[in-house]
Amino acid sequence: MTYIHELKNWPHFTWKAEAFLEQLNETRQKQARLLWGMNALGFPIRAEAGLETLTIEAVKSCAIEGENLDPAQVRSSLALRLGLPRGGASTGGRAVEGLAEMMLDATRNFAEPLSAERLWGWQAALFPTGYSGLRKISVGSWRGPEAGPMQVVSGPIGRENVHFEAPAADRLEIEMKTFLEWFNGRSEADPLIKAGIAHIWFATIHPFEDGNGRIARAIADCALARADGCPDRFYSMSAQIERERKNYYSVLEASQRGPLDITPWLQWFMGCLGRAIDQAEDMLSGVMQRAHYWQLASQFPLNQRQLQILPRLVDGLEGKLTSGKYAKLAKCSTDTALRDLQKLVEFGLLAHGEGGGRSRCYVLSKGKEGGQG
């Protein structure tokens, strides 16, 4: 099996732009409309939309790798760094903190040159203990020869299916030097095409022992922020990739085994990007509804317990909210929970759901003004 990094002219990618020119133009138009629409909104809604998008991007990028994170903790970590209201959730562990740092550095500092040191910092932030699960890995540096061949495999032990094998460790210095010079330099390619190339190029080099997929997507986000000329993200490429995960891996694997003509990969990338922007409309509608809700909530004197529980309800608390569940989540007595809930109903922030007595539940009020919902 020959991989593209073993071909004579690597890494001189080629592509047939006419094959996806219509997709590229449509995506450009969608991108422009989205950014124009967001610029017409006030700062609070833009900030909330950017926070929501970054949260989704971080959570879904990890989900692609099979790692499930608590969105409330990721959101809290990002909000803390952006100086936005955190709600009541904790910021999570050091790995969540590191993920937040990487996402913000990739997008907020998109204009800064990408360097080896910067990428080492991203990978070290993802694995603050130096372990990936139970396995000790090298962090803050390229993978070394002691790690052995870097392969992407699936299947049970003894019957593994090798999907891809990355360049040997002794090639990484020159491979990454070439990549970074290209990424930071001028390019005749459209910025959106450059984002697609950056993704597959870095993923093919696979320079770290772990975290390559997440960092490849962060690099693509950095390139997309450069293309937008805006540090705020209003669409999530990783969320769309996660929806199309099977096709993502299929196209990526085929392109890494094929010739240096990466037209099929760029076709898929442009289509996925366009669909990601389409999905942003639904997300932004929810953001505006939540922004209105928090604007209403800011008029009332809420205690710390209420400030802890309301964000979880707004973000889609699993199951029904009863006084017993509120008491458990807020670590208070049932009587205190009931008083808190009744006050929120009086403010018009909650309404009574179906049922009564001990089974009474509470839901977000659909009313737009104070008073009982």
My answer on whether 227 and 313 are in the same domain is no
My answer on whether 86 and 189 are in the same domain is yes
My answer on whether 149 and 233 are in the same domain is yes
Q: Is residue 237 part of a domain?
A: yes
Domain boundary among 236, 260, 290: 290
DSSP state of 14: B
My answer on whether 263 and 350 are in the same domain is no
Domain that holds residue 30: 4-290
Which pLDDT belongs to residue 368? 41
Domain boundary among 235, 257, 290: 290
Q: Is residue 68 part of a domain?
A: yes
Is 104:54 a contact under the CB 8 Å cutoff?
yes
Q: Is residue 118 part of a domain?
A: yes
Rounded Cα–Cα distance for residues 15 and 261 (Å): 5
My answer on whether 56 and 199 are in the same domain is yes
How many helices (H) and strands (E) in the chain? 14, 7
Q: What is the domain-level CATH number for residue 354?
A: 1.10.10.10
Which pLDDT belongs to residue 265? 97
My answer on whether 256 and 323 are in the same domain is no
Q: Is residue 169 part of a domain?
A: yes
Rounded Cα–Cα distance for residues 279 and 52 (Å): 13
Rounded Cα–Cα distance for residues 246 and 230 (Å): 30
Q: What is the domain-level CATH number for residue 67?
A: 1.10.3290.10
My answer on whether 231 and 338 are in the same domain is no
My answer on whether 271 and 332 are in the same domain is no
Q: Is residue 373 part of a domain?
A: no
My answer on whether 281 and 310 are in the same domain is no
Q: Is residue 369 part of a domain?
A: no
pTM reported for the whole predicted model: 0.80
Domain boundary among 290, 316, 334: 290
Q: Is residue 227 part of a domain?
A: yes
Query: Measuring CA to CA, which residue among 248, 326, 233, 238 is closest to residue 287?
Result: 233
Number of domain units in the chain: 2
Which pLDDT belongs to residue 373? 36
Which pLDDT belongs to residue 156? 66
- 128 sits in which H/E element: none
Q: Is residue 370 part of a domain?
A: no
Which pLDDT belongs to residue 335? 93
My answer on whether 78 and 121 are in the same domain is yes
158-166, long-range: CB within 8 Å, 24+ apart, which pairs?
162/1, 163/249, 163/253, 164/3, 164/204, 164/206, 164/253, 164/256, 164/257, 165/1, 165/3, 166/5, 166/204, 166/205, 166/206, 166/207
My answer on whether 111 and 258 are in the same domain is yes
Per-10-residue mean pLDDT for the chain, 373 residues long? 92 95 93 87 82 90 90 86 70 84 95 97 94 89 86 71 88 97 92 96 96 95 93 92 94 94 96 93 75 80 89 78 92 94 94 74 68 36
My answer on whether 25 and 78 are in the same domain is yes
